[in-house]
Amino acid sequence: MSGDINRQLSHMSEASSVGSDGNSSEEMDEDIDHSYYEDTSDDLGLDCPSKTDDPEYFEYEPLQLIDAEKMLNEEIEALCTKLKVNPSMAKMLLLRHNWNKEEIIDNYQRNPTEYLIESHLASRHRHDNLMGHRPLCSVCCVEYSKDRFMGVACGHLFCRDCWDMHFQIQIQDGITTGIECMAKECPVLVTEDFVCEILSHPKLRDKYSKFSFNDLIKSHPNLRFCPGVDCSVIIKAKEPKAKKVECQSCKATFCFKCGIAYHAPTECDVIKRWLTKCEDDSETANYISAHTKDCPKCHVCIEKNGGCNHMQCPECKYDFCWMCLGDWKSHGSEYYECSRYKENPNIANESVHVQAREALKKYLFYYERWENHAKSLQLEETTTAKITTRTQEKVMNNQGTWIDWQYLLRAAGLLKKCRYTLQYTYPYAYYMEKGPRKILFEYQQAQLEAEVENLSWKVERAEITDRGVLENQMDVAEKRRLTLLKEFLDVQVL
C-alpha cells in the first residue's frame, strides 16, 4: 500500500542520480524560502522568519529558574520603591493583580487603604479579639500572656503556636500565597514576612518558598513553566499570545497561552472543549472509525500502514481517498470536498431524535478526520525514521553526501508540520458558525488537505520522486498552510 516504503527504496539507483547532481540542486535551494525548514535547519542558521510573513511568528526566550527569580525580584523592588511598601506586600500586590504595575500604582495612589482592602491585604475594621490580662487563644483555647499573640493587617490575634500549625497544614496542602487569616470569614492574606517569622519547620520553609515562587510565575502573564517532563525552563514571551513555543532544552512544543499541545488555527478554549468532547465520546467514534476499510471497487480488506490518505488498492490498483472512499481523481482539483461536512439542510424541521443522530454524525465526521490525521502523523514518524536510516546507508555507500540527502528529511519534517496544522483545523471547523467564513475556511482546508496528501504520497516515494518535483510540492503545501493560518489565526482576539 501507500506506506510500503521498502519496495520503493529498492529503486535506489534511480533516486541517487537525482541527488548526485550536486550543482543543480544547490541552485534549487535558492528558490525556496528557508523559513519553511525551521524545524530541521537550526544548525545551518537558515531560519529567519519575518514578522510580517509568518502568522506563527512569536518572540520568546528561555529563562533558567535563577534568571526568572532575578527578573521578578527586580520588578518587586521597583514597586517597593515606587509605593514605599515592604517587599512582601509588593509581591502580594503583583501576584494578585497579574503583575500589572501601571494599574497597581494607579489604584494604590488613588486610595491606598481601599486598594489594600480590595486586594485582601487590609481590613476595614481593626479587630481586637483579646480580652483581659491573660487572654484566651480562640483556636487552641489556651491562655497566654499578651506577647504570645500575633496577627496580620486585620488585627485578629492568635497565639504563635496556632499560627505555626496553621501554616504547616496549609503548606502541606500546597497553599502558600493564598494563606488567609485564621478568623472566621476573614479574607485577609498572610504575607511572606509573617510566615517566615513564625514557621518553625525548616523543610516547610523550603516548600513555602518553592510553592510561592511557582505562584508568582503562574500569575505572571509573560512567563510560563515549560510543560516538558522534568524540565525546569521558564519561557518568557513579549506578549501572552496563543502561539507556538518550542523549548530548546527539552524540545517540548506547546501553546504559550494555555500550555497544552500547540493547536493553531483552533483557539485555546475551543480546543479544550473539543478534547473534552473527544474524551467523552471517543468510544463510539473509535468503534465507527475502524483501522481497516474495504476497497470501494474490489472490496478487498485494506489496512492502512502509511500516513498518506491517497490510497491505491494493491489488488485492483484503484486510486481512492481513505476518508471518503471516493475516486482520488476528483480530489485533485478545486472540487475537493472530502474535508467538508454536508449538513442535512432540513434539519430544523426534523424530530429531536433525528437531530441528535445528525449531531452525532456531524461530530463523528470531524472526529474521524481529526483522529485519522493524528494516526497519519504517527505513521509518518516511521517514514521519517526509515528515511534517516536509508540516508545513512547511502552516504556510507558513497551515493552522495549527507548534505545531498537532507532535503528528504526536510520534506518529512515539513509534511509533519503541515499535517499537524491540518489536524487542528478540524476542531476549528467543527465549532464554526455556518456562513461565508466557514465556506472560505473549508475551501482553504480542502486545498491544504489535498496538498498535504500529495506531499505525503511523494515523501513515501521520495527516492523515486524527482527532487525538484518534491521540493515544489513542499513549497505548495507550506504556502497553503500559511495562507490558511494568515486568514484565520491572526484574527483571534487576544
Q: Name the β-bridge partners of 359.
A: none
Nearer to other proteins, 138 or 312 (CB): 138
Give the up-direction half-sphere exposure of residue 228: CA atoms within 13 A in the CB hemisphere.
Answer: 17
Nearer to other proteins, 169 or 347 (CB): 169
Nearer to other proteins, 85 or 179 (CB): 179
Nearer to other proteins, 92 or 162 (CB): 162
> Which among 196, 186, 172, 193 is positioned nearest to 91, based on CA atoms?
193
* Residue 171 beta carbon to other proteins: minimum distance, rounded to whole angstroms: 11
Q: How far apart are CA 221 and CA 217, in angstroms?
A: 8
Q: How far apart are CA 180 and CA 187, in angstroms?
A: 6
Q: How far apart are CA 341 and CA 332, in angstroms?
A: 18
The residue annotated as part of the active site, out of 137, 181, 295, 308, is 308
Nearer to other proteins, 215 or 475 (CB): 215
CA-based radius of gyration for the chain: 30
Query: For residue 112, what is its C-alpha cell?
Result: 491606598
In one letter, which amino acid is 317? Answer: K
Q: For 103-128, b where at least 16 C-beta lie within 10 A, e where not — what string? A: ebeebbeeeeeebbbebbbbbeeeee
- Using left for φ > 0, alpha for ψ between -120 and 50, and beta otherwise, residue 228 falls in beta
Query: Are 323 and 372 within 8 A, CB to CB?
Result: yes
Count CB-CB contacts under 10 A for residue 215.
16
Nearer to other proteins, 183 or 364 (CB): 183
Length of the chain: 494
* Residue 94 beta carbon to other proteins: minimum distance, rounded to whole angstroms: 23
* Residue 246 beta carbon to other proteins: minimum distance, rounded to whole angstroms: 37
Query: 280-283 contacts: CB < 8 A, separation 24 or more?
Result: 281/363, 281/367, 282/367, 282/371
What is the secondary structure of 7-41 as a DSSP string? HHHTTHHHHHHHHT-HHHHHHHHHTS-GGGGTTT-
> Which among 492, 39, 98, 445 is positioned nearest to 271, based on CA atoms?
492
Nearer to other proteins, 120 or 304 (CB): 120
Preceding omega of 227 cis (within 30 degrees of 0): no
Question: Annotated catalytic, 308?
Answer: yes
Residues that bind other proteins (CB under 8 A): 138-142, 158, 162, 165-166, 168-170, 180, 182-186
Q: How far apart are CA 257 and CA 264, in angstroms?
A: 12
What residues act catalytically?
308
